[in-house]
Structure 1
Amino acid sequence: MLAEKPTQTLSTEIIKGDAVFTLLADEWDPLVEKSMTHTPFQYLSYQKAWWDHLQPENSELNTVVVRDNGELIGIACLYVMGDLIHFNGCVEETDYLDIITAEENAEMVWTAVFNTLCSSEYPDWELLELCNVPAESPSRSIIPKLADQQSYTFAETVNEVCPIIDLPATFDEYLAQIDGKQRREIRRKLRRANGAGAELVIIGPEDDIDEAVDDFLALLRKSTFEKRDWLTDGRCAMFHDAAKAAMEAGILQLLFMEVNGRKAATLFNFDYDGRIWVYNSGLDPEAFGNLSLGVVLTAKAIELAIENGRKDFDFLRGDEIYKYRFGAKDTYIYRLNVTRCDQ
């Protein structure tokens, strides 16, 4: 059986719609900072930006809040769409998702949330589909037990990989640990870019963040036809909101490579909790193509991360070959499905 505190100390509440972001404004982020899964994607500003601009059609936010003697100990920010339940943020734009709670409260909070989902107070559903749950999350062991107690069907699959570089103490040590051919290529491309006057530009609080994000989006559009088509008005608005909030919180790392004042490559990263999270990138393939500025910018971002004492460089979702050329190793995120058998 799952561990529980005496039920009289716990209370649960269902908050419908985006009012949850206002009602929990003072409590949300402090809980994230204690949570078992705390990434930039759990913070209120990101969660609100995603819902404001990317909520699916015909969906409704139904957040389950758990308190222990009045203290907020759990947030399950979920939306219902037809007979499906998803984490808010699922699936394309958000690389890590999970319930928001401290690890020591995870079983108790998930039990309270699950009981609420199975009650008549929560909208009817047939499939609980939780995407992008990190490999180390306790949710992966708790949810199957809860499903079994209700005689529901549980299934877990690998959703995607998130390649990560474990960063050493120096950039020279980093280069020494990657493939020799790639090491020589990086050094050659860095020398060529430096010789051409390519400069790394780091956007700071003194810069015009809206203009910088527009520059980033312009390069993202030019990267590939797929990125151009993916970049809807809603995603553009979300990038703007997320960038402003991250800059205010001190966790935005927006980088450009410039040659003669012309921006040619960009990275939109989060710098949080000792890790660089590479959220998206852009490149003008027609600008200084001989300089390989996308490769140069990634190498400089890794060098900057090491100089700043960061421990990990997370490329986030996707198995693109360039990530492995930089020495990244796969980690996994999972999709957890619970199918009700009583519907």
Structure 2
Amino acid sequence: MDNSKHAFDVRIDNAFDFLSDEYAALFNDSAATAFQHPLWLHGLYGKLAPGVGAKPLIVVVRHRASGTLAMVLPLLRLRRGPVRTVEFADLRVSDYLAPVCTAQVFSDLLQDEKACLELRRLVKPFDLLRMPKLPDGRIPLENLLAAPRRIAMDTNAYSTVLFAPFEQWRANALDRSYQKELAKKSRQLHRKGAVSFSCCGDAASVTEAMEVMKKLRGPRFQAQGDGDLLQRPEYFAFYSEVAARGLNSFVRLYVMKMDGEIIAAVLGLHHGDNLLVIMSAFDIAGYKNQSLGALTFEQVARDCIERGDHILDFTIGDESYKRLFGAKPSPMWSVTQAGSLAGSVALLALKQAPWIKLAAKRMAGYKLLPARISTRLR
């Protein structure tokens, strides 16, 4: 018997501790993204999932010989109407989804047929398996799940490469006419009062910034008809806890102030040498002619460069402002699999009837639905 082909044990552990030392070590060595960070998943399973009626489905894979952690696949079970779905731990707050393991371990796992069959058995039953927001093909999740080949999503992610000094990056990334426009807007803004830009450094400043973000975002998203996640208590609690616990390490919360009052805020996740922008808010009504969002992101880029970061990642969404900062698109991928007739009908409907997605988006303020609502201001 070739033991190398039976090297893994696969189990469901819905009480898995994402703050444990073994998960921290696995995450640090893995090809996972910021959205699988210990603090992020701890908050998502502990705060967010119970609030929206999602049930954990945490697949834990260990090396059989040593018992050490090899992979964690953070999933959820949800009911969307009559359809039972299994999907990544996302709940509309994560932009990139990935199993937590190294590429080599994933490759080895695919060679363990018994482990693969057990994993596929454990995630059942489901009507629909949904794995969107896959950033690339380095880890072919569809092979592990015996699912159909991945397909491109109808949206991209955007990131810009940073380098020092800031002035050189700015000259290279921004169109010359846009540089002049922002310089003009900056002068206009500074004539209105004392402008400051900083990164929150303590719990009190985080609390203040999150409350202001909630206040600024509500009317804007309500006017767009989408609603805003921060207006929902369970989501506000999730983002606030992640921001507070991850401050000065995993999280950066930037604020721009006018005469001591916050007029703009940007929440980002720091992972490796990347900063991922996940949420922002601006006092558009008070500064509608000053391009407040662009001026804020310009200062975010400056701070990242001064800290030695190499990538400013604007994450998912085809908003036009991202290209103005030299951001390039990267395709995103989705894996779906029907597990029943009801799942096949639901999958066909989502593919063939765009109005269903629109209806789901408009109802998202009343209950959790498949549509993803952007968490950023355009």
Matched pairs, number: 327
CA deviations 1:270-326 (Å, max 9, x no partner) are 222111111100012222334332221111111111122111111111111111112
Shift of 1:108: 2.9
Compute the TM-score of the two structures, normalised by the length of structure 1: 0.85
1:149-204 C-alpha deviation (Å, 9 max, x unpaired): xxx54442325311111112222222222222212112222333344421113211
Which residue of structure 1 aligns with residue 100 of structure 2? 100
How many Å separate the matches in 2 of 1:167 and 1:130?
Answer: 30
Give me the whole-angstrom Cα distance separating, in 2, the residues matched to 1:265 and 1:316.
19
Deviates more, 1:219-228 or 1:238-247: 219-228
Report runs of 4+ in structure 1 exceeding 4 Å deviation. Answer: 110-113, 340-343
The gaps in structure 1 that reach 5 residues or longer are none
* SS of corresponding position for 2:286: coil
Secondary structure of the corresponding residue to residue 16 of structure 2: helix
Q: 1:65, CA displacement in angstroms? A: 0.7
Question: Which residue does 2:282 correspond to in 1?
Answer: 283
Correspondence for 1:160 = 155
Matches within 5 A, 1:209-248: 209-225=206-222, 226=224, 228-231=227-230, 232-247=232-247
Q: Which residue of 2 aligns with 1:325?
A: 324
Equivalent-residue separation in structure 2 for 1:113 and 1:58 (angstroms): 29
Distance in 2 between the 1:153 and 1:133 partners? 14
Instruction: Give yes or no for the alignment of 1:44 onto 2:38.
Output: yes
8 A Cα contact 1:223 1:284, kept in partner:
no
**1:75-154 → structure 2 map (5 Å cutoff):** 75-82=72-79, 83-90=84-91, 92-109=92-109, 114-119=116-121, 121-135=122-136, 137-140=137-140, 143-144=142-143, 147=146, 153-154=148-149
* Corresponding residue of 1:65: 60
Q: In the alignment, residue 273 of structure 1 is paired with which amino acid?
A: G
* Distance in 1 separating the partners of 2:3 and 2:41: 29
Let me know the Cα RMSD of the aligned residues: 2.7
Contact conserved, 1:47 with 1:89, CA < 8 A, in 2? no
Give 1:211 deviation, angstroms.
2.9
Shift of 1:132: 1.0
**Aligned-partner Cα distance in 1 for 2:71–2:144:** 19
What is the correspondence of 1:288-327 to structure 2 with a 5 Å cutoff? 288-327=287-326
In structure 2, stretches of 5+ residues that fail to align are 344-378
Give the structure 2 partner of residue 15 of structure 1.
Answer: 13
CA contact (8 A) 1:264 1:284 kept: yes
Q: Secondary structure at the match of 1:324?
A: helix
Quote the Cα distance in structure 1 between the aligned partners of 2:75 and 2:179.
44
Q: 1:190 aligns with which of 182, 186, 189?
A: 186
| Residue in structure 2 matching 1:27, options 13, 19, 22 | 22
Contact kept, 8 Å, 1:51 with 1:89, in 2: the verdict is no
In the aligned structure 2, how far is the partner of 1:71 from the partner of 1:144? 23
Q: Decide whether the 8 Å contact of 2:251 with 2:268 is kept in 1.
A: yes
Whole-angstrom distance in 1 between the partners of 2:166 and 2:298:
9
**1:258 shift after superposition:** 0.9
CA distance in 2, matches of 1:44, 1:145: 23
Distance 2:310 2:3 in 1: 36
Question: C-alpha separation between the residues in 1 aligned to 2:220 and 2:166?
Answer: 28
Partner amino acid, structure 1, of 2:300: A
Report whether the alignment pairs 1:171 with 2:157: no
Contact 1:200 1:255 in 2 (8 A): yes
Q: Distance in 1 between matches of 2:252 and 2:271?
A: 10
Q: Deviations over 1:100-150 (max 9, x none)?
A: 00111112335676422332x554124321121112x4223x524762xxx
| Equivalent residues of 1:158, 1:333 under 8 A apart | yes
Tell me if structure 1 keeps the 8 A contact 2:30–2:102: yes
Mapped partners of 1:254, 1:87: distance in 2: 26
Q: In structure 2, what is the equivalent of residue 55 of structure 1?
A: 49
* Separation in structure 1 between the aligned mates of residue 101 and residue 228 of structure 2, nearest angstrom: 36
TM-score (norm 2): 0.78
How many Å apart are 1:8 and its aligned residue? 4.3
**CA distance in structure 2 between the aligned counterparts of 1:265 and 1:143, rounded to whole angstroms:** 41
Percent identity between matched residues is 21
- Distance in 2, Cα, partners of 1:256 & 1:206: 14
Classify 1:146/1:61 alpha carbon distance in 2 versus 1 (closer, same or farther; 3 Å): closer
Determine if contact 1:61/1:79 at 8 Å carries over to the other structure: yes
Q: In 1, distance between residues paired with 2:133 and 2:71? A: 19
CA distance in 2, matches of 1:115, 1:52: 29
Label 1:338 to 1:224 Cα distance change in 2 as closer, same or farther (>3 A).
Answer: closer
State the alpha-carbon separation in 2 of the partners of residues 215 and 65 from structure 1.
Answer: 39
